[in-house]
Structure 1
Amino acid sequence: MEKKVLMAALVIIGVVVLIAGCYSILNSKNRSNEYVFVEHYVETQGFLADDPEVNAYVYMGYPTYNSTTSQNLLKATWFPPLNKSLRVMLGNGKGIGKEGCHGGEMYLYGAYELPYKKDNITIKRVDRKGTVYLDYNGESLVLNPGDIWYNNSSRIEIIHFTNSTVDENVKVNISVMDRIRNFGIFTKGLD
């Protein structure tokens, strides 16, 4: 009697393991065709401290990529290699001027092995849901897909300004909006 109970238990356990294995294989996503898109963006605005209606800015290059979050689509003028080992696409950009509209630079970097370090960001790991675990300027951050981390600051600087009619020091109020955003899981389009 004990042998029959033991055999029945082993058969049931075997069937459960077989069903769980088949379910896992049939319902697993092909992670080699996906990556997580994370963006670090710093926007700097400058206004004359004595006349806040006057912008103080310089022109920069133009953005090289943009993302469509509704379709999880990343469009760029240049991509790092999209291969099966790509884990994270890091957008790193900055904008200068009122609301960053007077110029910006944005570059893409591919993280093929984790941890990945670029300047003052270290992407430590990414989980299956697209949550990113990273360090930024020594601070540990955990960003789920759609999460945004902000750090806003401001300062006043004396800047020497020269043009054809002016050669003087001006007081500039500079505000900086520093943000990191996890856009979530995107498809590489390899299939």
Structure 2
Amino acid sequence: MRSLVYILSVSVLLLAACLRTGAREIRTGAFFSPDGLGLSLQFDNDWGDEIRCVNLYADMYGVYSGRTAEAGFVASYTHSYILKVYDFEYSRLSMYAGAGFLGGYVHDYESGMFSTTDRALRHGRGLVAALACDLGLAFDFDRRVTVDLSLCLAPGLHFRRDADSGTTIISAYRRGFISALLPRLCIYYRF
């Protein structure tokens, strides 16, 4: 419970810092991915060529397949640059890429996919600290709705406590590479 309060406190501070930057346009919406479900905020700069994005979501690794009942928590921030814009009569398509950071309290990848007693997740959740590399497409529609489709590579470290020995195990965050293949869909309302 303390970790949840800590993550939410840090998230609120990040959001407050982003709001003070004088964004030209603010988008708020829902985050959907095989990785998890949550909230997302985007801020454009004054010139409209940069996007800052904050995602807060429940990490659902192993929950959908029944391998665990414990969801994790993730907060990420990316600063992306718009690479190309295509303007249409009633919509706009933007291609962007950027980097930032990702942190949370999550499960890391373990082999096996489906729900059987011998395939339950063996390791508990742990802290993750990673670089977040984002690549995506944003579809801005005339009705103040934006649909964003992206991929995120997150190389980093995973810290967890071994239940048997009580030692802290530090390993590469393998899911940061695997989940780069999983698309993220965000549906925003623009203010």
Question: Greater relative contact order: 1 or 2 (C-alpha under 8 angstroms, separation 6 or more)?
Answer: 1
TM-score (norm 2): 0.32
TM-score (norm 1): 0.32
Q: Which has the larger radius of gyration?
A: 1
